[in-house]
Chain A
């Protein structure tokens, strides 16, 4: 479903701040894969997701989604294939617009937007039902401004928006990192549910090793702009945090990485 071939990306090339963020990343996700991504700060996790989403152009390499080469497509065109939830709860929704308006915008992802009315009557009841399923008490607040919602509610809404128009690929970029533990757990559970229900191919960046092991069918770890660990299936199910740490120090050839990972 997703194929990355030898992706390279350097920021601030030629300056003292030069940073090789991605150094030849290759990855293939199969249809329906739920892949968790872990790694320390600056390992390239979010950079990889942004490369896929098209936030900027990569220096070299190719990206294809569902067989379509998207390497040279701008961000808004790639959006036709991709649903995204960001780390910052403010980033995924338009705060000055109503809940229903946000949903209606998401429902037209990848479509031409013309001079038809932006929300149809049929949509309204459809959204109401969907929000009822989220169980956040939002079903009666369709015309509330999103700016009034809590961070957790916004992430749940963004998740719904990302999956409303079934994407070929769902990108979750530390989408629970800014939430309190209880809300984070709820949003994670919701993510699991949505991914399973719609059978979405998913990449989820997380800082939490336990979450990374518990969720999904595949786990990759990044270090220094490269994918250093890639486990899936039975092997991943049996994985424990200490094992993961050991695996990591073996690959990266450093013990101090333990702390770096745990602390980050």
Chain B
């Protein structure tokens, strides 16, 4: 139990970082109604770009911006495969993801992982978030405002604010209409292809940014760090919806719920790891099962419970 409590700040920090990726997944899955599998690749792209640039002495904000841009480029490719080449969205995402595997390795100089040298104190000081800061703040060696929970929390809120603004603009509304009803969107003069590409770019940009933050946090990028990212993203979206859906109706709050969903997901995973002696290899299986069940519940509800209600109604009539 103590083990779990001790690990909780780290789990929450990681959850918040993955929450940014989950917000990206929310944009494609919920707003555009596309299941975009590019994210498994673009997450690592963001991490790789960041670590390599930072390692070569680039400014941290520049490196983060470059990660964002790289992710947007990945989204652009999926978008063009889907709209300009007529490939179904799921397949387009898988193709980009597969291609990115090689690209990511190439970015990292054909190595499976690249580390940031954090034993070098001046390097460490430049970072925005790091696993070490969690311990440092706990030990009183660093001020509380350097705690990753606070830093990533504020960062997430800033991203949510920008997205809230964007989806409230004419362009953002057009994007929402594209996902809600493409027929209506076209009839109102909206180019749905542009909407889809733009949405995929924003989404993957956020995913890559999240990957960059994670590699910064754990001080390395790994070619397999994005594996199953889409499932974690979906899990966060669904958990957020289940836990906060009745409370949060405003768009900004819905995005916050997604972020909190990722935190809950990581806290639960951490609990499973700390409180049982399960082999961590099974975590992906557990994640997959949890997401499958949560995705199935609404369908089962509609299929079995509404029928029962109708039967009941007929008896009374």
Assembled-state Cα–Cα distance A115/B176 (Å) = 14
Given contacts A108-B170, A113-B171, contact A161 B181 (CB under 8 A): no
Q: Mark contacts of A149-171 with chain B using CB atoms, 8 A cut-off: 1 yes-contact digit, 0 otherwise.
A: 00000000000011000000000
Assembled-state Cα–Cα distance A92/B171 (Å) = 19
B80 beta carbon closer than 8 Å to chain A: no
A227 beta carbon closer than 8 Å to chain B: no
* Contact assessment for A110 and B176 in the assembled complex, using a CB-CB cutoff below 8 Å: no
Q: Which residue of B lies closest to A92 (CB)?
A: B184
In the complex, which residues of chain B have a beta carbon less than 8 angstroms from the beta carbon of A161?
A: 188
Assembled-state Cα–Cα distance A104/B180 (Å) = 15
Given A102-B184, A114-B169, 20 additional A-B pairs, CB 8 A: A76-B185, A76-B191, A77-B189, A79-B188, A82-B187, A84-B187, A91-B181, A91-B184, A94-B180, A94-B184, A96-B176, A96-B180, A97-B180, A105-B185, A110-B189, A113-B173, A113-B174, A113-B190, A114-B171, A115-B166
Nearest chain A CB to B178's CB is how many angstroms away? 9
Assembled-state Cα–Cα distance A117/B186 (Å) = 20
* Contact assessment for A75 and B186 in the assembled complex, using a CB-CB cutoff below 8 Å: yes
Partner of A118, one of B170, B186, B192: B170
In the complex, which residues of chain B have a beta carbon less than 8 angstroms from the beta carbon of A114?
A: 169-171
B20 beta carbon closer than 8 Å to chain A: no
Nearest chain B CB to A83's CB is how many angstroms away? 8
* Contact assessment for B168 and A117 in the assembled complex, using a CB-CB cutoff below 8 Å: yes
* Contact assessment for A101 and B187 in the assembled complex, using a CB-CB cutoff below 8 Å: no
Q: Which residue of A lies closest to B192 (CB)?
A: A76
In the complex, which residues of chain B have a beta carbon less than 8 angstroms from the beta carbon of A182?
A: none
A236 beta carbon closer than 8 Å to chain B: no
In the complex, which residues of chain B have a beta carbon less than 8 angstroms from the beta carbon of A58?
A: none
Nearest chain B CB to A49's CB is how many angstroms away? 12
Assembled-state Cα–Cα distance A85/B89 (Å) = 28
Given contacts A76-B190, A80-B189, A109-B189, contact A118 B172 (CB under 8 A): yes
* Contact assessment for B181 and A104 in the assembled complex, using a CB-CB cutoff below 8 Å: no
B257 beta carbon closer than 8 Å to chain A: no
Nearest chain B CB to A143's CB is how many angstroms away? 10
Interface of B toward A, CB cutoff 8 Å: 166, 168-174, 176-177, 180-181, 183-192
Assembled-state Cα–Cα distance A75/B186 (Å) = 6
Q: Mark contacts of A99-123 with chain B using CB atoms, 8 A cut-off: 1 yes-contact digit, 0 otherwise.
A: 0011011101111011111100000
A86 beta carbon closer than 8 Å to chain B: yes
The B-contacting residues of A in range 16-74, CB under 8 angstroms, are: 53, 74
Interface of A toward B, CB cutoff 8 Å: 53, 74-77, 79-80, 82, 84, 86, 90-97, 101-102, 104-106, 108-111, 113-118, 161-162
In the complex, which residues of chain B have a beta carbon less than 8 angstroms from the beta carbon of A117?
A: 168-170
* Contact assessment for B169 and A115 in the assembled complex, using a CB-CB cutoff below 8 Å: yes
In the complex, which residues of chain A have a beta carbon less than 8 angstroms from the beta carbon of B189?
A: 76-77, 79-80, 108-111
In the complex, which residues of chain A have a beta carbon less than 8 angstroms from the beta carbon of B166?
A: 115
* Contact assessment for A94 and B185 in the assembled complex, using a CB-CB cutoff below 8 Å: yes
Assembled-state Cα–Cα distance A93/B168 (Å) = 18
Given contacts A114-B171, A116-B169, A118-B168, contact A105 B186 (CB under 8 A): no
Assembled-state Cα–Cα distance A115/B166 (Å) = 7
In the complex, which residues of chain B have a beta carbon less than 8 angstroms from the beta carbon of A80?
A: 189
* Contact assessment for B171 and A105 in the assembled complex, using a CB-CB cutoff below 8 Å: no
Assembled-state Cα–Cα distance A86/B187 (Å) = 10
Assembled-state Cα–Cα distance A86/B180 (Å) = 16
Given contacts A77-B189, A97-B176, A110-B189, contact A115 B171 (CB under 8 A): yes
In the complex, which residues of chain A have a beta carbon less than 8 angstroms from the beta carbon of B191?
A: 74, 76
* Contact assessment for A115 and B170 in the assembled complex, using a CB-CB cutoff below 8 Å: yes
* Contact assessment for B171 and A101 in the assembled complex, using a CB-CB cutoff below 8 Å: no
Give the top 10 A-B pairs by smallest Cβ distance, nearest first: A79-B189, A94-B180, A113-B170, A118-B173, A109-B189, A94-B181, A75-B186, A96-B180, A115-B169, A76-B191
